[in-house]
Amino acid sequence: MDRENVKWIVGCLGVLIAVVLVPLLLLVGPLNQPNNAADHLGAVLVFVGSLVTAAVSFISITVKRESDQRLTREHDDEEARLRLEAVTQAGALFSSNSGLVQPASIASSLLSLTSLDRADFAVALLVDFWSDHDKKVSTEAAILVIDSALRSVQPQARLVAAELLCRNSGNLDPCQSLHWPSAIDGCWDASFSAKTKLLLIEALLNMTLSKPVTESALRSIAVRLYGIYRYDDDPCVRGCVAKLIKSLIEALDGLHYRNFMQGNQIVMLSDLEGAARERADNPDDFLNRLANRRSRKLAEWAKPLSDKDLAQEDAPLAESVLNPVPVQGAAAPLAVLGRS
């Protein structure tokens, strides 16, 4: 029951008590006096008057309630009309002159759609504006649109966002925070569909493996994988991600420190080691084979770091607080067996 209905019921009860029950009690007294006709008549008139007052008050309250509800509906309809008009104008802009529109204008329109709760439409348009062959928007703007789609409650928008992120993952930099959606940066939404999860994990792996190993990149992939492991409640996903974390433990141990910090949030090497012990084979043999191969490739990618003099690596200071999580040969895509 919404607040308006509660207020209406309380108002009606107030009217009933004030103008019906009280006069009724006054009427009962004179009626108990057998020989007082004048008092009887006066009491009856008071009671009838109170009933009329109650009826008028009830009608007034009901009319006001209906008027408020009508105004609310009109406001909602007007807001929906304005949202639809904004979406239509954005679509018309893209379709009429997409070759002449500046990247900043396209990015602004897409981000405006996300602010109007149309992340599904924005990410669908992004498919045409952010591709290897023809990028009409910057990577940073595209990631913001994808981030909004991943935060939405629409499964199809999430799936399209994950697919688009996976397609372009080879061009992303794992050490750039603006190259990865904050919705899954050290955190995770367990309500993602199975295929969406696989696409996002594959995007993370592709992005990482497409760049040379550095200490910052190793830290980044470790804490991002740990975020998935910690927040997902699917044993198959946790077992697969734990297997990937296991492939990084040797290189992480070679860093000679045990914690990854940002502000008051921290993930310890012991947390990652504990996650690695939970690794498990996937019940799907094909998917399990792909996960094993990805795990081997990740271990091979990280291995050169153990032979590198880390004292000579000059990483930006900001990368020392990258992607924290609170304590507590080409293979087939991992998502091929997922369901949307």
Mean pLDDT calculated for residue range 148-153: 93
Count other C-beta atoms under 10 Å from residue 46's C-beta: 16
Contact status, residue 260 vs residue 324, Cβ threshold 8 Å:
yes
Hey, where are the domains in the chain? 3-77, 98-162, 168-340
Question: Stretch 71-88: mean pLDDT, rounded?
Answer: 69
Q: Tell me how far apart the alpha carbons of residues 41 and 47 are, in angstroms, rounded to a whole number.
A: 10
pTM score, whole prediction: 0.70
Query: What is the percentage of the chain residues whose pLDDT exceeds 70?
Result: 64
Contact 323, 219 (CB under 8 A): yes
- The whole-number pLDDT of residue 118 equals 83
pLDDT tens, 8-51?
566 666 655 555 555 555 555 554 555 555 555 665 666 666 66
Going by C-alpha positions, the residue among 116, 117, 118, 126 that lies closest to residue 94 is 126
pLDDT beyond 50 at 328:
no
Reported in sequence order, the residue ranges of the chain that DSSP labels E, i.e. its strands, are 259-262, 265-268
- C-alpha span between 254 and 300 (Å, rounded): 15
Average pLDDT value over all residues in the chain: 78
Cβ-contact 219, 322 below 8 angstroms: yes
Q: pLDDT per residue over 263-313, tens digit each?
A: 455 788 999 999 999 999 989 898 899 999 999 999 999 988 766 655 545
> Tokens 């397609």 label which residue?
167
Please choose, from the candidates 61, 68, 56, the residue with its C-alpha nearest in 3D space to the C-alpha of residue 20. 56
Question: What pLDDT, on a 0 to 100 scale, did the predictor assign at position 339?
Answer: 43
